[in-house]
Amino acid sequence: METSMIEKLDAARSSFLKWATVGYAIWFGTYIVADPFFLPEIPSVIQWIRILGWLILAVSGIRAIKLKRELRWDKKMRGALEGELHQYNLRKSFQTGFFVVMGVTAVFLMVSLFYTIPALLVTKVILYLGGLTVLISKMFYNRD
């Protein structure tokens, strides 16, 4: 069974989006995990995990740049791959990320009435969950 070029490029986009999500989750997640735990042996392990996540994210970024370069020359292919449905799904995923950021911020605001929470931790968690939500919802909306 032969697949068209559009199907191949769409599969490539789905693949690097999945790996970008994994890389971002690992890379940025280690910044949150590293703060509360000050055990002597954990920081070195976390550094290696962080580097692994960064490498996965960098490779998927390079793959995204290659796809963009390939689509820049073929306007028909770009129109088919980045059509109205793609733009709609992209908008929905950013809206989902916005609502998650607002919800997490509201939760932290309510918790801060009773407990003192470090501002850096709050910022990292909000940024992590907002970015991860956008990536995961983009994969979810773009699954077909």
pTM above 0.85, yes or no: no
CA distance 108 to 119: 10
Q: Is the model's pLDDT at 102 over the cut of 90?
A: yes
Higher pLDDT, 22 or 44: 22
Question: Which residue type is seen at 29?
Answer: G
CA distance 74 to 63: 17
Query: Are the CB atoms for 143 and 107 separated by under 8 Å?
Result: no
Interval 49-80: pLDDT, tens = 889 999 999 999 898 888 888 778 877 877 87
Query: Are the CB atoms for 32 and 121 separated by under 8 Å?
Result: yes
Task: Write out the H or E segment, with its range, that includes residue 91.
Answer: helix 84-111
- CB count in 10 Å sphere of residue 16: 20
Query: Residue 34 burial (CB < 10 Å; 0-12/13-18/19+)?
Result: middle
